[in-house]
Structures are given as C-alpha cells and as structure tokens.
C-alpha cells in the first residue's frame, strides 16, 4: 500500500532536477511474531505479543523508491513493528512509519542510490558523446 509520494529537488554534476519518492508499506504475512522477538522479561514479551494478536501492531516491510530519468534508487526494511492503520485515527500508524523512515534514513538512502545510479549511467553514456 502506498504510504505517500513526495518530490525532492536534487543536483547531480551541476544539473538540478526533481525526483519522485514513493514510500510503500506492506504487511509481512509469513513472519510469526513469536519467532521475531525475544525479551528478557517474559511477561513483557507476552504483553507485547498480545498487542499484535489484538491487531494494535503488525509486522511490516517499508520500501522507499526514488525515481528520475527512468532510473531508481531503493531502500527496503523488513520486520518493522508498526502500529496498525486505524481508519478513524491513523496518527499512530503514520508516526510509526515516519519514525522508522527517519531512524534509518531511508529516504536519504534511496536518493543517494538514485544519484549514484544517475552518475554511473552518465559515465557509461559519455563514451557515445
């Protein structure tokens, strides 16, 4: 599911351009929460697992894709413990996704990879000029 789409202004080799950044969140259905966590405090672990079983939290995969000129840069992080999206109030869900994006510099990583791919493509095409 698309979480949001943003535009970012970039510059490569003195050329300014805009890149589209798409952020998507998908639920990981093949991961059992019991296999994903281990707390020293077993009572706290049991309470945390109960939050997943109640649907308060879910295990998700966040994908950030930056695009420009037909090229891409990506960053992907799986096994994220995220608040579930509540159609009446999605604040907790949005906050948990945005915090993960920030904590792991995911947008910056995707943009850096995109710029690197553009530079590599430009260098490869330079031989034809």
What is the per-residue pLDDT across 5-39, written as a single tens digit (0 to 9) for each? 999 999 999 999 999 999 999 998 877 788 778 89
- The model carries a pTM of 0.90
> In sequence order, which residues have a C-beta less than 8 Å from that of residue 40 and are 6 or more positions away?
none
Task: State the number of CA atoms in the 13 A half-sphere of 50 facing the CB.
Answer: 6
Domain extent for 80: 2-128
CA dist., res. 43 & res. 110, Å (int): 39
pLDDT tens, 75-91?
A: 999 999 999 987 778 99
The domain tally of the chain equals 1
> In sequence order, which residues have a C-beta less than 8 Å from that of residue 75 and are 6 or more positions away?
63, 64, 104, 106, 107, 109, 110, 113
């Amino acid at each position: 599911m698309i979480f949001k789409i943003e535009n970012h202004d970039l510059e490569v080799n003195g050329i300014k351009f805009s890149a589209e950044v798409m952020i998507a969140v998908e639920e990981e259905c093949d991961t059992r929460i019991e296999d994903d966590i281990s707390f020293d405090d077993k009572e706290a672990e049991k309470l945390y697992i109960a939050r997943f079983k109640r649907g308060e939290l879910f295990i998700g995969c966040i994908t950030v894709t930056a695009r420009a000129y037909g090229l891409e840069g990506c960053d992907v992080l799986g096994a994220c413990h995220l608040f579930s999206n509540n159609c009446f109030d999605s604040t907790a869900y949005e906050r948990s996704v945005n915090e993960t994006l920030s904590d792991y510099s995911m947008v910056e990583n995707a943009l850096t990879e995109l710029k690197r791919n553009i530079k590599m493509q430009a260098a490869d095409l330079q031989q034809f000029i």
